[in-house]
Amino acid sequence: MFRKSIRFSLVYFVTAVVYQLIFHQEVRWIDNIGIFILLVLFIQFYEWAKKPYEWKKKRGK
């Protein structure tokens, strides 16, 4: 789960840095790192929320 979020976010980060280097000749590191961290957190939250909670699990005990 964590590996998947890091992989996708890292691909975005590298793509953004390369794009900015090629077309703008300057890289906005703080913006890219901030977006990278937000993507990691969002994907972690999304993966966590996909797991269903079993409500009757505790009632049966």
Range of the domain at 10: 2-59
Q: What global pTM score does this model have? A: 0.77
Structural domain count, the chain: 1
pLDDT for the residue 56: 66
The per-residue pLDDT for range 22-57, each reduced to its tens digit, is 999 999 999 999 999 999 999 999 998 888 877 666
DSSP string, 1-60: -HHHHHHHHHHHHHHHHHHHHHHTSS--HHHHHHHHHHHHHHHHHHHHHHSPP-THHHHT
Amino acid present at 22: I
Give the pLDDT confidence score for residue 3 in this predicted structure: 82
